[in-house]
Amino acid sequence: MTDIVDYIRAKDYAGLVRRCEELEIHNAVDASITLEHIYPVYLAACILIDDLQSARYLRKRILASNISSPEINAVWSVVTALIKKEYPLVYQNLDSFQWTQYMQPLTERIKLKIRENMLTLIPKVYSSIEVTQVSNYFGMTDVLPELTSRGWQLDESTGILIPAKPDPAPRVATDMNQFAKLSDIVLNLEKF
């Protein structure tokens, strides 16, 4: 488990997924590897690299191997809430379980990652949003100071927040080589 801790400390979640995958495979020949401790970390790492589909397949393998633990079930409840986009339930599931020492930094990072995603997603979707709805998306009751410091505006009379629009992504200038490559691809596709 020390190598798993190293991946967690380094915040190398893609590497953590690969290592958990390796340990799962090695378990077929080395029964000393306890998958009950690996699987929750594996599921959490899948969340952190935004690969919920792999988490679904992992869950199928977990069920097929008849391995179960409260922590596996708790992480899976977070995955299902994320799939359903039930963000208040995600935060509730993360906060209501006593996580092991390996899982605590991962669950904190999951909360932080979801909040960072909300900071970019909400301004793209909403031109204005109620404070209570924003609190649900961020899993915090006192989210206003943070959002107003980031340029969000609050209409105190209505309780409506106006998200700060993100800076537009810089446009990448195209050159003639890109057009030539594109035309070659189209010509090759027409041959089929």
Which residues is 129 bridged to in the sheet? Answer: 161
Q: Give the per-residue pLDDT at 192.
A: 59
Instruction: Give the model's confidence band at 34: pLDDT under 50 very low, under 70 low, under 90 confident, else very high.
Output: confident
**What's the pLDDT tens digit per position in 128-161?**
999 889 999 999 888 888 888 988 998 888 889 9
**What's the pLDDT tens digit per position in 83-123?**
999 999 999 999 999 999 989 999 999 999 999 999 989 99
Domain boundaries, the chain: 2-124, 126-168
Three-state SS letters, 168-190 = CCCCCCCCHHHHHHHHHHHHHHH
Q: Give the per-residue pLDDT at 174.
A: 64
Residue 78 CB burial class (10 angstroms; 0-12, 13-18, ≥19): buried
Whether this prediction's pTM lies above 0.85 is answered by no
Name the strands in the sheet holding 160-162, side by side, starting at the edge strand that comes first in the sequence. Answer: 129-130, 160-162, 153-155
